[in-house]
Structure 1
Amino acid sequence: MYKLILMIKDFFILCSGVDQNLIKDCANGEQNKYAGIGATIFFTALMATIASAYALYTVFDTIYTAIFFGIIWGLLIFNLDRFIVSTIKKRDSKRQEIVQVIPRLLLAMIIAVVISKPLELKIFEKEINQVLLTEKNQMTLDNKTQIAQQFTPEIEKINSEIASLKEEIATKENEVNSLYETYISEAEGRKGTKLIGKGPVYKEKREKHDAALKELNQLKTDTAEKIKAKEETVTNLVQQQKEYETKTQPIISNFDGLMARVNALNKLPWLPSFFIFLLFLAIETAPIFAKLISSKSEYDFKLENEESKIRTWIQQQVHQREAILQTDKDLNDKIYSDLKTEEELYNYKQKMARNLLKLQADSFYKNQQEIL
């Protein structure tokens, strides 16, 4: 059990990003401090893995893909947190420490937002589903209204034409009925000549009625075919409208992706989400503030001592190379200065120069002869 505890402690110390060679020689309390910082980094990365896996599951609808990319995201957050904490070094001035912490705090805030938002989506999933349901219902109504606007004018136009045809028949029927009443009244002697019997006037009015009745029957026959064709057109348009509504409904039903859920979350009361964000912000920035408010400890002094050794050694190497370079320059200057006064070297260079001038003169003479 004790070995297991030591292994866990060593793992969390590794997560904190400290120098293993330096921390192992520090006191137990110093090791426990950095183990706590490493544990915070590890569990923050674990929460980031869970949050991103859920968020990606709402996008891909595939658990294995979501888990794979969730682990990648968690490792990325782990590396960022470890980098942030490991690069914070204790300074002699608190002002210098605050200056180096500010950009890391901004990065930690961004990470806290990225981690907390998917978890908020999961925590408030039921409330978000209710908001999405309301939005889907409204979208369904709006969708039907928009589709109806495409088909209704044509349907109303055809229905108006059908009504006009029926009204034309009704008008003709009224005309026939009026003619029927006219010739019956003439036969009964109630109107017209007021002579009872079927005289010439009766026959004339009866013929006029029969002609109108024949026109009415022909009109009904012709109009019935037109009305039937138009009613079939209306039926087809209504069917097309329903099919279009059925076709577009899955788009509305699937309106529950990541962006839709985030928008739905923003329509809920902001205070609970804000407190969750503060919680993750506190977790994310806890290691930073822990190093900021703590005084220089054993590990910090050892790290500063190691850095000082390396800095001094590098400065010595640079100074030595500069001294060698300067010495070499001085020696070269002295050597060439001494050579400048030697008679043997002067006579030799004079001889070489004389030979060179002779060769140049001979070559010029030959060129001139060739030209002539």
Structure 2
Amino acid sequence: MLKRFFILCSGADADILDSCSSGEQNKYAGIGATVFFTAVMAFVAASYALYTVFDNYFGAVFFGLVWGLLIFNLDRFIVSTIRKKESFLDEFLQASPRLILAIIIAVVISKPLELKIFEKEIDRVLLEQKNDLTLANKEQIAIQYTPAIAAIDAEINSLKEEVSTKETEVNNLYETYIAEAEGRKGTERIGKGPVYKEKREKHDAALAALVTLKKTNNDKIIGLETQKNELALAYENQIVNSQPIIDNFDGLMARVTALNELPWLPSFFIFLLFLAIETSPIFAKLLSPKGEYDFKLEDIEGEVKTWVTQKESQRRIVLDTDHTINDRVYSDLTEEEELYAYKKKIAREMMKKQQDAFYKRQTGIL
């Protein structure tokens, strides 16, 4: 039962193989088994690749099954259409387009399985890339907010500097009127005279202005600090909102790119393995000598070709004979007076009717 199934997979004619030896049947069963297991590997590879894209088991399995059946049909077609010829060069030229197709199929099958085999190494590369993307993302977002925050900080420092300058001025005025009262500066008279009162009033006015300035600038600083906090919160929210995009940076293309970052030699050998599996049925047919099945198939095809050629030749002869007979029949008819008189009568009546119709038409126009 299993042997019959693999023969079916090989694309060989089961009826012809039934009349062949067991060795010939085993050869084609082996070719069919290779075709079948290649399709199984294609199903597994496609299912994994599609799962990384859609993240859904049922969809991945369904489309993976469709892909596996497609590869099975292509491989079966490739193997079944190769015919043994007298020259190996002719056979190779016949199989060259199929070999190119087999190489393409091997690449498509091997790549998803490479992604699965080197999954841990790919995850490490993706982690490094995600970390780099996270840092780059923070820097890009910071570029949007840093100038505004820096401008707010500069304005806050300017307001604080204004208050500090005013405090220095008030302290100097305080020192001035105290020195005047102690007689150390100014009039150098001890006591609270008119000059002292004048300097005291100047200090008090500056102190009142300092209190007002402190309150005004403090309110402005509180507003600016609120704006600064809002900008910092918006910066953090934008980082949080964009981080899931970076965390989900593990799709099929990202994994293929990460795979290319790994050493190429192991991946290349896996590709060679699948290339050997995919092309082995073709090379098996190319390298094996003509077997019993090939001779019988060639005999059947030759018989059909001969029969078709014979029928085509017979149809051509029948057609030529029919043309010759028709020529003789019509040649004999041209010599019959009765047929001539009848056609002459018909022609005369037809000409009369045409003339009458022409006359009526011209009369109507006039």
Q: Give the TM-score range, shorter chain.
A: over 0.9
Q: Which residue of 2 aligns with 1:18?
A: 12
| Matched-pair identity in % | 65
Name the CA distance, whole Å, in 2 between partners of 1:365 and 1:99: 76
Counterparts of 1:275-286 in structure 2 under 5 Å? 275-286=269-280
What is the aligned partner in structure 1 of residue 130 from structure 2? 136
Q: Of residues 275, 287, 294 in structure 2, which corresponds to 1:293?
A: 287
The one of 42, 48, 58 equivalent to 1:64 is: 58
Shift of 1:222: 0.9
Note the alpha carbon deviations across 1:19-68, whole angstroms, 9 max, x for none.
Answer: 11101111000000001100100111101111110111111111111111
1:105 and 2:99 equivalent? yes
Partner in structure 2 of residue 153 of structure 1? 147
Query: Is the alpha carbon distance of 1:361 and 1:215 closer, same or farther for their aligned partners in structure 2, counting shifts above 3 Å?
Result: closer
Deviations 1:202-241 (A, max 9, x none): 1111111111000000100111111111110100110011
Partner of 1:225: 219
Output one character per residue of 1:260-280: Cα deviation in whole Å (capped at 9) or x when no partner. 000000011111100000000
Q: Quote the Cα distance in structure 2 between the aligned partners of 1:220 and 1:99.
A: 94
- Quick one: which amino acid aligns to residue 331 of structure 1? I
Q: What is the deviation of 1:359?
A: 5.8
Give the aligned partner of residue 270 of structure 1: 264
Query: Which amino acid is 1:277 matched to?
Result: F
1:69-218, aligned counterparts within 5 Å?
69-218=63-212
Counterparts in 2 of 1:193 and 1:280: CA distance versus 1, 3 Å: same
Q: Which amino acid aligns with 1:131?
A: V
Cα distance between partner residues in 2 of 1:176 and 1:40: 98
The alignment partner of 1:73 has SS state of helix
Query: How far did residue 106 of structure 1 move?
Result: 0.5
What is the CA distance between 1:165 and its match in structure 2? 0.3
1:310 paired residue number: 304
Pick one of 298, 320, 340 that aligns with 1:346.
340
Q: Name 1:249's counterpart in structure 2.
A: 243
Change (3 A) 1:119 1:343: same
Cα distance change on mapping 1:69 and 1:356 into 2, 3 Å: closer
Unaligned runs of 5+ in 2: none
AA aligned to 1:51 is A
Whole-Å separation in 1 of the counterparts to 2:277 and 2:12: 19
Superposed displacement of residue 361, structure 1:
6.5
Structure 1 residue 340 displacement after superposition: 1.3
2:43 maps to a residue whose letter is T
Deviation at 1:364, TM superposition (A): 7.2
Distance, in Å, in 2 between the alignment partners of 1:152 and 1:369 is: 101
Alpha carbon RMSD of aligned pairs, Å?
1.8
Give the equivalent residue in structure 1 for 2:229: 235
Q: CA deviation at 1:363?
A: 6.9
Letter in 2 for 1:19: D
Match of 1:4 in 2: none
Residue 249 of structure 2 aligns to a residue whose secondary structure is coil
- The residue aligned with 1:29 is 23
- Alpha-carbon distance in 1 for matches of 2:365, 2:202: 136
Give the deviation of 1:353 after TM superposition: 4.0
**In 1, Cα distance between equivalents of 2:162 and 2:363:** 127
For residues 248 and 276 of structure 1, what CA distance do their matches in structure 2 show? 37
Give, in angstroms, the shift of residue 345 of structure 1: 2.3
Instruction: List gaps (5 residues or longer) in structure 1.
Output: 1-6
The one-letter code of the counterpart of 1:221 is K
Amino acid at match of 1:230: L
CA distance in 2 between counterparts of 1:164 and 1:367 reads 110
| CA distance 1:190–1:283, change in 2 (3 Å) | same
Structure 1 letter corresponding to 2:54: F
Distance change in 2, residues 1:93/1:160 (3 Å):
same
Q: In 1, Cα distance between the equivalents of 2:68 and 2:338?
A: 80
1:37-48 alignment to 2 at 5 Å?
Answer: 37-48=31-42
CA distance 1:98–1:196, change in 2 (3 Å): same
Looking at structure 2, the residues matched to 328 and 292 of structure 1 have their Cα atoms a distance apart, in angstroms, of 49
Tell me the distance in 2 between the aligned counterparts of 1:250 and 1:361. Answer: 94
Cα distance change, pair 322–151 in 1 and its aligned pair in 2 (3 A): same
Distance 1:318 1:114 in 2: 46
Structure 1 residue 324, shift from structure 2 partner? 1.0
